[in-house]
């Protein structure tokens, strides 16, 4: 079995694998893998650890720190910061790995661990497999043959790792974000509402915008450990839309709990998701992009709009890891998902909500146009997404009754729409997505299929 899902290790806090005991062992075995791969024996491996604002983050942080120290690895503690900040600071500190404690857009009672390699990218499959193999051994009680029967041996107490609290981590990341904004422009004259989702970006996101000259109205920026993503943020943008209208703002920006997803709201309160952001950056920026990588979830309207602009478009599997792979394979710099994971590889090596938002604001300032005007030419096909929560994860394609229903729906949509059925990589959930040129058909078909899945799988 693998403890790793599509985006690290995630679950409800207090239940395996998100328990203090397991996480201590995760820190230890990850540290041992880093030591085994250390090609400079004169230098002790080090990691950076950051987190979002969940209350359980304190417990996980302490367990990870103890595990890494026991393995002989130094730890740099960053505190609450967005996921892309941890990726950036991993490179900045020349650390061997970066660790993010977050469950992204999930509720407060979930948490997780995501690992970056030393270059700030997602951990390689080889490294992840090595960690997973050691985890399986230690969780099954298999002893280390060179460790006198101990499951987590301390080779030499003199070689224990040390801890360092990085007090200027926020400032370092803020300057990095500001450095992605064109030097010849600022945000003077713009009123920007920023929904921080009571998450990891609650402090840095408003500061970045203010320091670039914007009039910032911050909402959902008072985390209490349990209000992260609660009726706010990129997955619940309704309060942002209302705030933009109430304050007569020029634009709104919503982050998710760990600050790697973004959706925006134009001056009229209309939502602009990841597809819309990709459209603006691909077609309206001064440096025209050669191609864009979307995913299976990207709206067909984006594909058609980019085709009209003579910009290539390809679809990757769902997940920013796969978007990154396709971007590197094609030599392109722009890609992302409708959910708001946006990769601008000329600015950052990972999905970054703040940096993506700044690039859209830069286009607005450079052209002197509102976001609604920049979106002209992009027509979204009606799309309905229904999430079917299950008691436990099951594969719907293993049931002939469901496969027959999917085939019938796809035949109905042939040539004028799409059907996508996929399993969540982090939750016991099936996602049903229907696109059609008929909005009513879209809604009815998606809900009917969702009900059918729930009836069969429970």
Question: How many angstroms separate the CA atoms of 242 and 233, rounded?
Answer: 13
Number of neighbours of residue 287 by Cβ within 10 angstroms: 8
What are the tokens at 113? Answer: 């661990």
Q: Any alpha helices (H) in 98-233, and if so which ranges?
A: 125-139, 169-179, 204-211
CA dihedral 365, 367, 372, 374 (to 10 degrees): -120
Question: How many angstroms separate the CA atoms of 273 and 296, rounded?
Answer: 15
Nearest to 299 by CA among 113, 109, 442, 125: 442
Choosing from 46, 102, 104, 180, which is the catalytic residue?
104
Query: Taking a C-beta distance cutoff of 8 angstroms, is the pair 435, 410 a contact?
Result: no
What are the respective helix, strand and coil percentages of the chain, to the nearest 5?
40, 20, 40
Question: Which conformational region is residue 188 in: left (phi greater than 0), alpha (psi within -120 to 50 degrees), or beta?
Answer: beta
Residue 372 bears catalytic tag: no
Chain CA centroid to CA 256, Å? 8
Using DSSP's 3-state secondary structure scheme, residue 341 falls into strand
Q: How would you class 377 by CB atoms within 10 Å of its CB: exposed for 0-12, middle for 13-18, buried for 19 or more?
A: exposed
Cα separations in angstroms, 313 against 251, 306, 338 = 27, 7, 14
Place of tokens 């952001």: 277
What are the tokens at 271? Answer: 């939502």
DSSP code of residue 183: T
- Across 118-250, where does the E strand assignment appear? 163-165, 191-195, 215-219
Q: Which residues are catalytic?
A: 104
């Amino acid at each position: 079995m693998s403890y790793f899902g599509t985006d690290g290790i995630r679950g409800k806090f207090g239940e395996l694998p998100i328990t203090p005991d397991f996480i201590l062992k995760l820190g230890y075995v990850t540290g041992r893998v880093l030591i085994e791969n250390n090609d400079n024996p004169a230098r002790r491996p080090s990691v950076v650890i950051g987190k979002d604002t969940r209350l359980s983050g304190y417990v996980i942080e302490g367990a990870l720190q103890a595990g890494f120290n026991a393995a002989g690895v130094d730890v740099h503690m960053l505190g609450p910061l967005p996921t892309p900040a941890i990726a950036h600071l991993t490179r900045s500190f020349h650390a061997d790995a970066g660790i993010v404690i977050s469950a992204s857009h999930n509720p407060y009672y979930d948490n997780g661990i995501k690992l970056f390699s030393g270059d700030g990218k997602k951990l390689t499959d080889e490294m992840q497999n090595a960690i997973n193999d050691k985890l399986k051994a230690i969780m099954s009680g298999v002893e280390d043959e060179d460790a006198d029967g101990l499951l987590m041996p301390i080779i030499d107490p003199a070689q224990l790792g040390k801890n360092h609290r990085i007090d200027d981590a926020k400032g370092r990341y803020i300057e990095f974000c500001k450095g992605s904004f064109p030097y010849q422009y600022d945000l003077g004259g713009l009123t920007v509402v920023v929904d921080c989702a009571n998450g990891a970006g609650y402090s840095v996101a408003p500061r970045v915008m203010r320091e670039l000259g914007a009039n910032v109205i911050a909402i959902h920026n008072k985390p209490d450990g349990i209000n992260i993503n609660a009726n706010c943020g990129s997955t619940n943008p309704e309060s942002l839309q209302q705030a933009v209208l109430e304050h007569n703002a020029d634009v709104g920006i919503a982050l998710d709990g760990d600050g790697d997803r973004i959706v925006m709201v134009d001056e009229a309160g209309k939502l602009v998701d990841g597809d819309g952001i990709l459209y603006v950056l691909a077609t309206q920026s001064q440096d025209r992009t050669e191609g864009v990588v979307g995913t299976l979830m990207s709206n067909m309207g984006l594909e058609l709009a980019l085709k009209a602009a003579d910009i290539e478009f390809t679809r990757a599997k769902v997940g920013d890891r796969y978007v990154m792979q396709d971007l590197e394979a094609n030599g392109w710099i722009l890609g992302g998902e409708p959910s708001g994971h946006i990769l601008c590889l000329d600015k950052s090596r990972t999905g970054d909500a703040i940096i993506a938002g700044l690039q859209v604001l830069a286009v607005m300032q450079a052209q002197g146009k509102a976001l609604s005007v920049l979106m002209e030419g992009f027509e979204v096909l009606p799309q309905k997404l229904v999430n079917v929560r299950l008691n436990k994860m099951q594969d719907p394609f293993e049931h002939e009754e469901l496969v027959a229903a999917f085939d019938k729906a796809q035949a109905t949509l042939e040539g004028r729409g799409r059907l996508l059925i996929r399993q969540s990589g982090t939750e016991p959930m099936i996602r049903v997505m229907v696109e059609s040129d008929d909005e009513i058909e879209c809604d009815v078909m998606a809900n009917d299929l969702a009900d059918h899945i729930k009836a069969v799988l429970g």
